[in-house]
């Protein structure tokens, strides 16, 4: 797991959602998470199905935020677990060993350690910066990325107000993926915005190689 982790906004316009997502995939997005907190079950299934077909064409994993039943019904690639959702262990038991299970760990190394012990595929930290979409305390220390790299053998994702510019120090500390919503979906050119994140990883990984 490496690069741009695309998280969808709460858009009800499915065609717009698919069009912008496809542009970001052309730009090099490495993983897509379908997240729509206010969608009806019918809309959620419609959008997730469309995104899954799109991701399959681009050989990109699609994971579903929260809805394990939807992931299993569509045979999506995995589930992301928030702090108020079912435990990582419970989700892992439902989806089996092959699916991706991601865990929100906020700014807590203890949550990250527990996610690792429970079978998570990756750990997500944040918020690091103010977000236009998600409301949370901006209290996560950048130092947690380097600490996690030393302790936990899982890929790490950073989230919260991410741009290609402000994500740079976090990627330099070892973040494997940068999760973005507004900086891609609200960009004038989503493909170019995605490519900027890809270039960030290429430049830093190349410099450290």
Decide if pLDDT at 127 tops 50: yes
Domains in the chain, ordered, with CATH?
3-208 (3.20.20.70)
Alpha carbon distances (Å) from 14 to 8, 21, 72, 116, 120: 11, 10, 21, 35, 30
185-126-152 Cα angle (round to 5): 120
Decide if pLDDT at 84 tops 90: no
How many beta carbons lie within 10 A of that of residue 66, not counting itself? 20
pLDDT digits (tens, 9 = 90+) for 146-180: 999 999 999 999 999 999 999 999 999 999 999 99
pLDDT band per the 50, 70, 90 thresholds, residue 131? confident
Burial state string for 170-209 with b = 16 or more CB within 10 A and e = fewer than 16: bbebbbbbbbbbbbbbebeebbebbbbbbebbeebeeeee
Mean per-residue pLDDT, 54-77? 97
pLDDT band per the 50, 70, 90 thresholds, residue 207? very low
pLDDT band per the 50, 70, 90 thresholds, residue 136? low
Rg of the chain in Å (alpha carbons): 16
Mean per-residue pLDDT, 3-15? 97
Q: What are the catalytic residues?
A: 35, 104, 134
Alpha helices in the chain (DSSP H): 14-26, 41-57, 68-74, 88-95, 109-117, 143-151, 168-173, 182-185, 190-208
Alpha carbon distances (Å) from 81 to 56, 131, 201: 22, 19, 25
Mean pLDDT score across all residues of the chain: 93
pLDDT in the model for residue 206 = 61
pLDDT in the model for residue 208 = 43
């Amino acid at each position: 797991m490496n690069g741009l982790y695309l998280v969808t906004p709460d858009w009800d316009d499915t065609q717009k959602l698919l069009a912008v997502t496809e542009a970001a995939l052309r730009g090099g997005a490495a993983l897509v998470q379908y997240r729509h907190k206010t969608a009806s079950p019918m809309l959620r299934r419609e959008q997730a199905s469309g995104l899954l077909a799109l991701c399959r064409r681009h050989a990109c994993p699609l994971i579903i935020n929260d809805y394990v039943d939807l992931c299993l019904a569509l045979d999506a690639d995995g589930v992301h677990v928030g702090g108020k959702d079912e435990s990582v262990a419970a989700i892992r038991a439902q989806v089996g060993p092959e699916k991706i299970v991601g865990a929100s760990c906020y700014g807590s190394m203890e949550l990250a350690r527990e996610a690792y012990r429970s079978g998570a595929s990756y750990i997500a930290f944040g918020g690091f910066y103010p977000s236009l979409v998600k409301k949370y305390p901006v209290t996560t220390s950048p130092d947690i990325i380097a600490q996690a790299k030393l302790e936990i053998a899982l890929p790490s994702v950073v989230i919260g107000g991410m741009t290609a510019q402000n994500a740079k120090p976090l990627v330099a500390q070892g973040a494997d993926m940068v999760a973005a919503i507004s900086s891609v979906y609200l960009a004038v050119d989503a493909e170019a915005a995605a490519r900027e994140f890809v270039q960030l990883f290429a430049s830093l990984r190349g410099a450290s190689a």
